[in-house]
A and B are shown apart, each in its own frame.
Chain A
Amino acid sequence: MEYEPVIGLEVHAQLLTEAKIFCGCSTKFGGAPNTHTCPICLGMPGVLPVLNKKVVEFMLKMALATNCRINPECSFARKNYFYPDLPKGYQISQYAQPPAEHGWIEVEQNGEKKRIGITRIHMEEDAGKLMHDEYNPVSHVDLNRTGVPLIEIVSEPDIRGAEEAAAYLKRLHEILVYLEICDGNMEEGSFRCDANVSLRPKGSDAFGTRTELKNMNSFRNVQRALEYEIKRQQYVLEGGGAVVQETRLWDDTAGTTHSMRGKEEAHDYRYFPDPDLVPVVIDEQWLATLRKDQPELPLEKRERFVRAYQIPAYDAGVLTASRALADYYEEVVRLCGQPKIAANWVMGDVLRFLNEEKKEIRDCPITPASLAAMIRLIEEGTISGKMAKEVSEAMYRTGKAPEEIVKEKGLVQITDEGALSETIAGIIAKNPDQVAQYRAGKEKVFGFFVGQAMKATQGKANPKLINDLLKKMLAEG
């Protein structure tokens, strides 16, 4: 039988607010253990939570970007369970009344577009971190992360393969980063994903028994874990067995998943409305302001680049990988008026230099104005394309303007027809054999003359001018 995987993803994204969700502590990653804490996030007796409004705003940005329906009122609930990284013994989350539901995003795979449904988006607080002593049977808890705001984005079970899952995640990630509400750092846990996966006979509408996968900390691992799990379930089903409903952990090193807890050990979280918090009211005016300020999203930007700049879809994809890169590119285009050439330079040299040093576009020493000026120098014939390579490298190393570099290196292209004519006349005079061959119809020899001319001018001559003069002067002889 042919099986079809049915996948739903739950993404937790840490929000880039300055302060935690229910207290004023810093959300910064990497402080000394338990330094970004106060009685509230430590869950001391008697403390109370007060919602950080910025968290609601960030959640709403994501809800708008993913076409969700936004409920006029939402409320917080307590998710009760015991764990040492959870100081109150419950996590403040949202349950019965989520703020955003029924959304979707579009993913593209092999040129085909598909909508993946978003069931809901809600806000919650992050837990702390346990650190287990390697040598002693002791564990330590760091509560810096406790109370860092998260949004959970739950997809519909619309995903039909591991690759599609990765494509969906990349899209979500890109939107979050574009909105500047999440740094998207998967290694530091700013963007985390759990997956629910089941198989069913192809063409069936029913759902099979699902397993939940945890502990996948990169796009690649999500894809690998899902590929493995789909194969595993297929093997079980084909062998006449039944998939067990359970939570499984991905083992990166082994490349396998293994059971963490079964259905019987699943927690009863005893959700109930948090009596310490009041419902959040989201009015139309607030949404209107947010809609107005919403940035252009990656997919829209990509389509506009293809349309407005007449560049290939591939180029548009590369250039819109981040908002900063897209802004950089657009500034270069605005200043030089050459979209395709600008795209080549940005995607070519600029990204190569940055990648070599693992730098971001915002750290690029070549300003859009410098790059545009360099492109203009090429267009005007002041420097050749080949010279430009040298110029751009120098611009990156020194941060200097192209005109300055051209001057320093004496790179100005020889465009003086009289001087060049003299040089060419000399070459023709010195090489009578080759001249004879050319005139006898052996046009390949033309290349020899070009090479000689370049050599004589140390590569500074305008290639087009050399071509024109050579043709004219060889014909005249």
Chain B
Amino acid sequence: MELYELTIHELQDKLRAEETTAAEVTASVFQRIDAVEKDVHAYITVMRETALAEAEAADERIKRGEGGPLTGIPIALKDIYCTKGVPTTCGSRILSRFVPPYDATVVEKLRAAGAVLTGKTNMDEFAMGSSTESSYFGVTRNPWDLERIPGGSSGGSAAALAAGECIASLGSDTGGSIRQPAALCGVVGLKPTYGRVSRYGLIAFASSLDQIGPFTRDVEDAAVLMNVIAGYDPRESTSVPEEVPDYRSFLGQGIEGWTVGIPKEYFIAGIDPEVEAAVRQAVKVVEGAGARCVEVSLPHTEYCLAVYYIVAPAEASSNLARYDGVKYGLRAEASRDLLEMYKKSRSAGFGPEVKRRIMLGTYALSSGYYDAYYKKASQVRALIKRDFDLAFAKCDCILTPTTPTAAFKVGEKTEDPIRMYLSDIFTISANLAGIPGISVPCGFTAAGLPIGVQFLAGHFREGRLLQAAAAYERHAKIERRRPTL
């Protein structure tokens, strides 16, 4: 196997045993990028020079015995984190030339842990989308089938990992933007509890829903990355001062005697039969691991999509007001007055999906509509959260499909936003409730497309979540396939 195909923990073993060097690992990843990036287009910015320098520095540290938890590991970042001195576009024309003056907290943490940053990955513009097709920088292809989308909005991070263009990556999840592309690209994707990983430096889409998380090749790697990125940050008011356990310590514990909830509302018409069959099989695997599966109900599930498409655009309409052409980002030339400058800059800078959501959100917050939309949605959101609280009183974790279908074709849903929105139907609830969720590969369709199963747990129960996912992974023995590129 090539170095670029290994997991973080496998590479750590090799590095520690001096079987390889960070420079070799990084070189392997960049050779792979050179080979497949033209087909996949996972990156917006490739940070080759700094990465090679970081790898050399990492080798020095390893030699001195000062290696950190990620020393010498090539990791890709979704282009939504501010990186000091490195362009950060959020997939948008309006930020196409924006270079942040500071590093996001997670970027600081990755650097401190010794990671080699490979580059900034493609994404739906401002994380608004489920296919990575709304990026100003072009479409990212699914490495399993280049005719298909990788999912979104963190499609670049998922595709880069699946294609071997990094060893792990980070994404952000507002309604499923980590778990959905993870499922569609056949990798592990974790969305932590709201408040668990600092949002400082994450360009905001919907502030009450956004959360940062890892894409990895297996569950153990997710635990490794969580150990680095989780934790309280005084720079974020919604960050929670909850102690960070060693997530790796949960992995081997198994789920014997656990109760796993299967929500009846998640096996609905519209779910692809192959996906349903794979997830039903996953239920059997979990039972085989010693857990008892019981049906649970999350009665307000049907409102999730509606609530999400009021709350998220409302917050986005305000969060994206700062892109006005005054201080940074795109400014349209030759405007006669201020209003024209705003209109021309924003019209040229934002793509159609972003505009649609700004309009939706502006409307939902407008005088006379606020109570009917935003306020009502906030009330229903509280009920959705309560559904989970009640369910978790009866079970240790919940198992659902991650997505209703496997990866769809490029262009298939771009003309029909509602159909596009439906691809997040099983993931949105976790964001509304603020709970953690993980997608783990659970098989392939006949056409060879990956399928994911989702586990959900209560607030700050990432340890339990990883415990369940690891047990499933061990018992399911999903074949470690590689996409052929």
> A residues touching B (Cβ–Cβ < 8 Å)?
39, 42-51, 78, 80, 82, 84, 87-90, 141, 268, 270-272, 275-278
Contacts and interface: CB of A to CB of B under 8 A. Distances in A.
B433 interface: no
A90 B101 contact: no
B100 A46 contact: yes
Contacts of A272: 314-315, 318, 365, 370, 374
Interface string B226-243: 000000001111100000
Contacts of A270: 317-318, 362, 365-367, 370
B66 to A, nearest CB: 30
Contacts of B95: 45
A124 to B, nearest CB: 15
Given A44-B328, A268-B366, A50 B234 contact: yes
Interface string B191-229: 000000001111110111000000000000000000000
B43 interface: no
B77 interface: no
B90 interface: yes
B20 to A, nearest CB: 35
Contacts of A80: 317-318, 321, 365
B104 interface: yes
B318 A78 contact: yes
Contacts of B318: 78, 80, 89-90, 270, 272
B321 A82 contact: yes
B340 to A, nearest CB: 12
B199 A45 contact: no
A273 to B, nearest CB: 8
B237 A84 contact: no
27 contacts: A39-B101, A43-B327, A44-B82, A44-B100, A44-B328, A45-B95, A46-B81, A46-B200, A46-B201, A47-B201, A48-B199, A50-B236, A51-B237, A78-B318, A82-B324, A87-B322, A89-B320, A141-B327, A270-B362, A270-B370, A272-B318, A272-B365, A272-B374, A275-B208, A275-B238, A276-B238, A277-B237
B225 to A, nearest CB: 20
Contact of B367 (A50, A90, A141, A268): A268
In the A-B complex, the 4 residue pairs with the smallest Cβ-Cβ separation, listed nearest first, are: A89-B321, A275-B208, A270-B365, A275-B207
A88 B201 CA distance: 15
Contacts of B303: none
Contact of B326 (A39, A45, A84): A84
Contacts of A47: 200-201
B321 A48 contact: no
Nearest to B378: A273
Given A50-B234, A78-B318, A275-B315, A45 B207 contact: no
A426 B315 CA distance: 99
A277 B81 CA distance: 20
B338 interface: yes
A87 B318 CA distance: 12
B400 interface: no
A44 B102 contact: yes
Contact of B322 (A48, A50, A88, A141): A88
B322 A45 contact: yes
A299 B238 CA distance: 42
A268 B327 CA distance: 24
A270 B104 CA distance: 29
Given A141-B326, A270-B366, A84 B236 contact: no
The secondary-structure label for the interface of chain B is: loop
A44 B101 contact: yes
B180 interface: no
B408 interface: no
A272 to B, nearest CB: 5
Contacts of B208: 275
A88 B370 CA distance: 21
Contact of A45 (B90, B206, B314, B370): B90
A81 to B, nearest CB: 8
B208 to A, nearest CB: 4
Contacts of B365: 80, 270-272
Contacts of B367: 268, 270
A399 B104 CA distance: 57
A210 B341 CA distance: 33
B421 interface: no
Nearest to A85: B326
Interface string B75-119: 000000110000010100001001011101000000000000000
Given A90-B321, A275-B207, A46 B234 contact: no
B342 interface: yes
B88 A45 contact: yes
Given A39-B100, A43-B327, A87-B322, 15 more contacts: A42-B327, A45-B100, A45-B203, A45-B322, A46-B202, A48-B236, A80-B317, A80-B318, A82-B342, A89-B321, A270-B318, A272-B314, A275-B206, A276-B236, A278-B237
A48 B207 CA distance: 10
Choose among A51, A80, A276 the residue with the greatest number of B CB atoms under 10 Å from its CB.
A276
A39 B327 CA distance: 11
A89 B319 CA distance: 8
A54 to B, nearest CB: 16
A46 B327 contact: no
B94 to A, nearest CB: 10
A278 B241 CA distance: 14
A422 to B, nearest CB: 85
Given A44-B82, A48-B235, A50-B234, A89 B101 contact: no
Interface string B155-183: 00000000000000000000000000000
Nearest to B95: A45
A291 B260 CA distance: 54
A88 B318 CA distance: 8
Contacts of A49: 237
A263 to B, nearest CB: 13
Interface in B301-357: 314-315, 317-318, 320-322, 324, 326-328, 338, 342
A2 B315 CA distance: 50
Contact of A39 (B102, B321, B362): B102
A278 B240 CA distance: 11
B200 A43 contact: no
A48 B200 contact: yes
Contacts of A278: 237-238
Contacts of B81: 46
A270 B236 CA distance: 24
A88 B327 CA distance: 10
B330 to A, nearest CB: 13
B237 A50 contact: yes
Interface in B228-279: 234-238
Contacts of B90: 45
A345 B317 CA distance: 64
A375 to B, nearest CB: 56
B237 A276 contact: yes
A45 B321 contact: no
B322 A43 contact: yes
A243 B326 CA distance: 37
A78 B315 CA distance: 10
Nearest to B104: A46
Contacts of A39: 100-102
A275 B377 CA distance: 14
Contacts of A89: 318, 320-322, 324
Contacts of B321: 80, 82, 88-90
B211 to A, nearest CB: 13
Given A43-B327, A80-B318, A89-B321, A276 B366 contact: no
Contacts of B328: 44
B342 A46 contact: no
Contacts of B327: 42-43, 87, 141
A46 B77 CA distance: 15
Nearest to A81: B321
Contacts of B207: 275-276
Contacts of A82: 321, 324, 342
